Structure 1
Amino acid sequence: MSERFRHGLVIGKFYPPHAGHHFLIRSAADACDRVTVVVMAADVESVPLAERVDWIREFWIEEPHVRVAGVVDNLTVDYDSDEIWSGHVALMRDGVRLAGQEPAVDAVFSSEPYGLELADRFGATAVLLDTGRDTFPVSGTKVREDPVAAWDQLAPPVRAWLARRVVVLGAESTGTTTLSRDLAAALRARGGVHGATRWVPEYGRELTAAKLAAARGRARAAAEPEPSVFDIDWDDRDFDLVCRRQLEAEQRAARDGGPVLVCDTDALATTVWQERYLGATSPTVRAFAQAVPPRALYLLTSPEGVAFHDDGLRDGEDIRPWMHERFRAVLAEQGVLWLELRGDREGRLSRALTAVDAMLAGGWGLADPLG
């Protein structure tokens, strides 16, 4: 094997990390005994530093000689200023120390022309790769401007963070599951990266079925009458579980899905269901609803024109008007984008797709990096 470098350095904003960044790190990992990746983020940027560090660490978790550290860098960029250069380099050296690495660096890997100057300031060899973006035609700027176009260049955790989450909610038997499935299917039919669009089912319904089955099993064992859904007991722990399982499923789907993730309910909807069954929303469920990843769009299904269908797991038709109005009130309080859908199945889907397309056309609103 050819001679290896002892310690390679890769620096960047990784805003966000993409396939070109990982090509650079992989090249360093294959050529060096040790590699330090220093993530440098400014406070004005939209993706938190800790997220970027975690994403890169996850990608390289099975390469122990690759270590990742993050530093806040609020210095401007001026390649003609020795003072600013010195400030940036000092922060990079802080990053090397934070990574637990020896300070001496003998190779700097970069895809930018400034890599020559940077290597010189570390007294290291400059290794310039793919400066023309021919191997991986992607950049952080392109990703921020159009994540959809760069979707196949992003690793699962980055996709999960960028995925625009569309939540369908509503009272029982108002077509939430039908609409959410139809919406996901219509997006998948577009092909390309949208062909990976995922649908997240409602865990609360799954839990209801499981609790009812368990209750009926106990009744059979005790030779008692078979219970119905109205005999099931609920407590705060059940709603905590609903929130946790729903978010777990959502996060799994977001990692390997397309730019839009369609969710049949979420923790915000669970606050209303808990209020309906227990009379109030618990602090833990409220905390879940506040901590979930941002929602790009809520779609509220109206009971208007939808016949109630009792499948044995539902509460009853008389509760639908109250639930619907409560959902409207809760959504209005959130300051989020939401749309109420009425009409037949085809009309609801058409309006939902129009709203999703408008949301995507509006972009992600990621801040420009500090220049």
Structure 2
Amino acid sequence: MVHGLVIGKFYPPHAGHHHLIDTAARACDEVTVVVAPSTVESIPLEDRLAWLREVHAGAPHVRFVGVYDDTPVDYGSEAAWQAHTATFRRAVGGRRVDRVFSSEAYGEELARRFDAVHVPVDPARGTVPVSGTAVRADPVANWDKLAPPVRAWFVKRVVVVGAESSGTTTLARALAAHLRLRGGVFAGTTWVEEYGRMLTSLKLGALPPGRTMEDLEWTREDFVTVTREQNASEDAAARSGGPILLCDTDSFATSIWEERYLGNTSSAVRDAARRPALYLLTSHEDVPFEDDGMRDGEHLRAWMTGRFRDELAVRGVPWIELTGPYRARLTRAVRAVDDVLAAGWDLASPLLPADASRIVGGSC
């Protein structure tokens, strides 16, 4: 039985990491992958482990073990090497290691300390030209190197909210279409439809003939259902689209609708709200009310716009209100989305080597 070892931060996991693990999996009867970040890093260890297990679910002989390693990285320090190696040995569980697979310069020395054979895998990054540093610096440029669950973590969610017949659906759809025209990773931009409208349609369809919106009865469970389905749709779309995900309403907006129909909102709905990168509030002003058979709140539009304003103001999430004619709203929304992309991702730097050119006992 040949036991292989792969060690890394996987900050975040990318196609190069998957190539490394797949190479080890093909060459060994068993593989242990030790995910060893420092506690200063921004992506939780459990998330990284879950992503790697999902991507490599087809290789049951590969196991993933997580351990935090806050020992300073100093390849010229014997004490640092001993501390790192002890951490990795505990993660391996004391089992013998036959081969160490690595794309890094320290791989040979690490293998020596495990009394194992070093197997270098694409050290020049020629087969899979990507690195964790490159991904953290520019996830958009490396979007195609990220697996679906990792994309879902990085995707920037932009949520359009507003009162009835204020253009939320029209704007979400238009923004997605605009981004798709940019091509590249944005060609797959999607938008998430409002589940509440679907449930409204189902409830209307269950009424006796001749009944209307005024005859519908809403329950707490209805809004919990909307919240659950809306979040699930968002999460599914985030895995398969581009760096921006457009959402026509979300769980926060559902809490406002719950208040509108039931007088207040429940903790079950309120606590399910996420924190997107940006909210776009569509003002009801200058937008004619159009009754499509599933609307009954023309008289409440000003109140709902006000409630959205008040709640967004205290949520601590970026938001802007869109007013004026449609073209002006779309232009401003596009600018706001571009600002979100320009802001990038704020990821903490990992613990970096003091001097990568000095590796005790090694020749690499």
Please give the range of the TM-score, normalised by the shorter of the 2 chains.
Answer: over 0.9
Q: How far apart are 1:94 and its partner, in Å?
A: 2.1
Residue 41 of structure 1: how far off its partner (Å): 1.5
Tell me which amino acid in the other structure corresponds to 2:303: W
One-letter code of the match for 1:136? V
Distance (whole Å) between structure 2 residues aligned to residue 25 and residue 150 of structure 1: 19
Within a 5 Å distance, the mapping from 1:19-58 to structure 2 comes to 19-58=15-54
C-alpha offsets along residues 301-338 of structure 1, whole Å, 9 cap, x if unaligned? 01111000001101221100000000011111111100
State the alpha-carbon separation in 2 of the partners of residues 231 and 41 from structure 1: 56
Please point out which of 135, 139, 145 is paired with 2:131.
139
Shift in Å at residue 57 of structure 1?
0.4
Give runs of aligned pairs for residues 31-110 of structure 1, distance below 5 A. Answer: 31-97=27-93, 103-110=95-102
Q: CA deviation at 1:232?
A: 0.8
2:236 corresponds to 1:240: no
Q: Is the 8 A contact 1:310 1:316 kept in 2?
A: no
Separation in 1, partners of 2:286, 2:101: 62
State the alpha-carbon separation in 2 of the partners of residues 57 and 243 from structure 1: 28
Q: Which amino acid aligns with 2:202?
A: A
Q: Partners in 1 of 2:70 and 2:311 — Cα distance?
A: 39
Q: Is the 8 A contact 1:10 1:110 kept in 2?
A: yes
**Structure 2 gap ranges (5+):** 353-364
Comparing both chains, which one has the higher relative contact order based on Cα–Cα distances under 8 Å and sequence gaps of 6 or more? 2
Is residue 2:256 matched to residue 1:264? no
Alignment partner, residue 356 of structure 1? 337
Shift of 1:66: 0.5
Alpha carbons 1:203, 1:242 under 8 Å: kept: yes
SS of 2:2 mapped into structure 1: strand
Q: CA offset at residue 230 of structure 1?
A: 1.3
Q: Give the corresponding residue for 1:223.
A: none
Residue in structure 2 matching 1:315, options 296, 311, 315: 296
Cα distance in 2 for partners of 1:232, 1:318 equals: 18
Percent identity reads: 59
5+ residue gaps, structure 1, are: 221-225
Name the CA distance, whole Å, in 2 between partners of 1:124 and 1:268: 54
Contact 1:9 1:35 in 2 (8 A): yes
Provide the rounded CA distance (Å) in 1 between the counterparts of 2:63 and 2:269. 37
Task: Write the distance in 2 (CA, Å) between the matches of 1:355 and 1:299.
Answer: 9
3-state SS of paired residue (2:29): strand
Aligned length: 352
Secondary structure of the corresponding residue to residue 119 of structure 2: strand
- The answer on whether the counterparts of 1:170 and 1:324 sit within 8 Å (CA) in structure 2 is yes
Give the C-alpha shift of residue 44 in structure 1: 1.1
Give the match's secondary structure for 2:100.
strand
Cα distance in 2 for residues equivalent to 1:341 and 1:52: 38
**Mapping for residues 207-286 of structure 1, pairs under 5 Å:** 207-215=199-207, 219-220=208-209, 226-286=210-270
Q: 1:194 aligns with which of 186, 199, 203?
A: 186
**What is the TM-score normalised by the length of structure 2?**
0.95
- What SS class does the counterpart of residue 328 from structure 1 fall into? helix
Deviations 1:141-180 (A, max 9, x none): 1101100000000000000000000000000000000000
Instruction: Give the distance between the partners of 1:239 and 1:81, measured in 2 at CA.
Output: 58
Deviation at 1:287, TM superposition (A): 1.4
Matched, 1:341 2:325: no
Instruction: Spell out, residue by residue over 1:119-158, the C-alpha distance to the aligned partner (whole angstroms, 9 max, x if none).
Output: 0011000011111111111100110110000000000000
Q: Matches of residues 123-202 of structure 1 in structure 2 within 5 Å? A: 123-202=115-194
Matched to 2:329, the amino acid is R
